[in-house]
């Protein structure tokens, strides 16, 4: 088990290293000179220019800048914003930091039970009308992009029916549509997988043994089949959570939610590279850490990994 965990941990490093290098490169090798842009109409002011350049560390050689960058990251310091001169990036993103993960987590909590339930139901009612119906719904859920769904949902539920507010971020009602829209593709993906896994599990020998023991169908499904489905589904959850995190980018833009995603897009258009790169780093980190955590969880849940084989 420990060997397993260590191996997974080791796998994180190349990704983090790549992320650090790429974001640094993107930050430094951008078109145009950020200082010039920042100075704007104060372009002639050499004193100010030198001061700004020093503040941003842009007067030092690239290698030193890189070291500074990395050590800054270790401290949680992402440097200074270009858009808001002199303001640390951490300040810019501080308040938004918890919003995106919260949305993603809420969507995941919604998607997991619904997705698994739908998938298992379809598998148990295989080849019936219910199964085919569910499959078609799932395809639609996976195929329609979240912003298109948003257009329909907002028009239908918010505008026509008036059940939910259209945009903003003050009451819990504001969170419903974004979370639901985030959850739909995730639930559809989970349901497809759950159905496939359940169908496979139901064919397995140990299910036949359970029936041969005279266990009730309920026990056969709930105890012997479902468990074996949940275990591989768990591995996918990391992937899904990662997708949800990036999904918040779109959803926040649509509903005007002040989360990391919206700030990322704004910063791209404002050419505020440090902020963009900081968010890229954070998202990548989230993604990698979540996947790692899921791997470890999987190791705990599957006894074939947790416990050593033949003594």
Partner 1 sequence: MNGNVEVVADATGARDFLRRFIRTRSAVLGFILVVLAVATAVLSPWITPNDFSRTNMAFIWEPPGQDFVLGTDAVGRDVLSRLIVGAAVSLVVALSVLSIALVVGTTAGMVAAWKGGWFDAFVMRTADVTLAFPDLIVAILIAAMLGPGIPTVILSLAVVSWPGIARITRSLVLSLRSELFVDAAIVSGTAARTILLRHCLPNIVPALIVRASVGVGFVVMAEATLSFLGLGVQEPLPSWGGMIRDGLPALRSEPHLALAAGTALGLTIIGFNLLGDGLRDLLDPRIRER
Partner 2 sequence: MTDALSIEHLTVSFPGPRDRMRVIEDVSLSIGRGEIVGLVGESGSGKSVTALAAMRLLAATAQVDAGVIRLQGRDLAALTKKELLSVRGAEIAMIFQEPMTSLNPLFRAGFQIGETLQAHLGLSRRESIKRAVELMRAVGIPDPEQRVADYPHQLSGGMRQRVMIAMAMACSPKVLIADEPTTALDVTIQAQILALVRRLRDDTAMGVLLITHDLGVVAGMANRVVVMYAGLIMEEAPVNDLFARSLHPYTRLLLKSIPRVGVKTERLHQISGTTPPPSRFPAGCRFHPRCPDATDQCRNHIPALEVLPDGRKVRCWRWRETGLMSMAA
Quick note: the x/- pattern for partner 1 over 84-123, rule CB under 8 A, is ----------------------------------------
Question: What is the total residue count of the chain?
Answer: 311
**Does 289 participate in binding partner 1 (rule CB under 8 A)?**
no
Site for partner 1 in 162-181 (CB under 8 A): 166
Q: In the set 54, 62, 147, 216, which binds partner 1 (CB under 8 A)?
A: 147
Residues 27 and 273: beta-carbon distance below 8 Å: yes
* Alpha-carbon gap, residue 179 to 188, rounded angstroms: 14
50/213 with CB nearer partner 2: 213
What minimum distance in Å lies between the beta carbon of 229 and partner 1? 15
Selected binder of partner 2 within 23, 81, 228, 276 (CB under 8 A)? 228
Q: Do residues 248 and 85 make contact, with C-beta atoms less than 8 angstroms apart? A: no
Give the x/- contact pattern for partner 1 in 13-42, rule: CB under 8 A: -xx--xx--xx--x--xxx-----------
Q: Which residues contact 77 (CB under 8 A, 6 or more apart)?
A: 88, 90
Counting residues that bind partner 2 (by CB under 8 A) gives: 25
Please measure the distance between the N-terminal and C-terminal CA atoms of the chain and give it in whole angstroms.
Answer: 15
Tokens standing for residue 166:
């259209």
For 132, residues 6+ apart whose C-beta sits below 8 A from its C-beta are none
- Report what 81 binds from partner 2, partner 1, none; CB cut-off 5-8 Å by kind: none
Q: Is the sign of the CA dihedral 188, 189, 194, 196 positive or negative? A: positive
Q: Which of 56, 283, 294, 298 binds partner 1 (CB under 8 A)?
A: 283
Stretch of 35-43, 63-71, 145-153, 168-176 contacting partner 1, by CB under 8 A:
145-153
Please compute, for residue 190, the number of CA atoms within 13 A of its CA located in the half-sphere on the CB side. Answer: 31
Q: Is 212 helix (H, G, I), strand (E, B) or coil?
A: helix
Q: Which conformational region is residue 281 in: left (phi greater than 0), alpha (psi within -120 to 50 degrees), or beta? A: alpha
CB 225 within 8 A of CB 195: no
CA–CA separation, 33 and 145 (whole Å):
37
Residues 189-218 that bind partner 2 (CB under 8 A): 204-206, 208-216
Q: Which residues bind partner 1 (CB under 8 A)?
A: 14-15, 18-19, 22-23, 26, 29-31, 126-127, 131-132, 135-136, 139-140, 142-152, 154-155, 159, 166, 196, 199, 203, 205, 242-243, 245-246, 249-250, 253-254, 264-265, 268-269, 273, 276-277, 280, 283-284, 287-288, 291
Residues that bind partner 2 (CB under 8 A): 204-206, 208-216, 219, 224, 227-228, 231, 302-304, 307-311
């Amino acid at each position: 088990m420990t060997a397993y965990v260590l191996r997974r941990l080791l796998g994180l490093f190349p990704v983090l290293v790549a992320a650090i290098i790429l974001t640094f490169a993107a930050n430094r090798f951008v078109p145009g000179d950020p200082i010039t842009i920042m100075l704007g109409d104060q372009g002639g002011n050499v004193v100010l220019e030198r001061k700004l350049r020093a503040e941003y560390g842009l007067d030092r050689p690239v290698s030193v800048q890189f070291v500074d960058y990395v050590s800054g990251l270790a401290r949680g310091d992402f440097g200074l914003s270009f858009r808001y001169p002199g303001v640390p990036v951490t300040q810019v993103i501080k308040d938004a930091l918890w919003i995106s993960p919260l949305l993603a987590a809420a969507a995941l909590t919604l998607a997991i039970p619904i997705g698994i339930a739908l998938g298992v139901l379809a598998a148990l009612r295989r080849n019936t009308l219910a199964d085919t119906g569910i499959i078609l719904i799932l395809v639609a859920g996976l195929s329609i992009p979240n912003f298109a769904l948003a257009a329909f949902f907002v028009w239908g539920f918010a505008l026509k029916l008036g059940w939910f507010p259209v945009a903003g971020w003050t009451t819990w009602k504001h969170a419903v549509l974004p979370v639901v829209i985030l959850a739909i593709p995730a639930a559809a993906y989970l349901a497809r997988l759950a159905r496939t896994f359940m169908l496979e599990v139901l064919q397995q020998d140990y299910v036949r043994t359970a029936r041969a023991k005279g266990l009730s169908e309920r026990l056969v499904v709930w105890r012997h089949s479902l468990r074996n489905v949940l275990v591989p589904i768990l591995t996918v959850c990391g992937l899904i959570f990662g997708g949800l995190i990036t999904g918040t980018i779109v959803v926040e833009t649509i509903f005007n939610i002040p989360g990391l995603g919206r700030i990322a897009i704004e910063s791209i258009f404002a050419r505020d590279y440090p902020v963009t790169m900081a968010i890229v780093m954070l998202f990548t980190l989230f993604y990698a850490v979540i996947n790692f955590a899921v791997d470890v969880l999987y190791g705990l849940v599957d006894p074939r990994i947790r416990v050593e084989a033949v003594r």
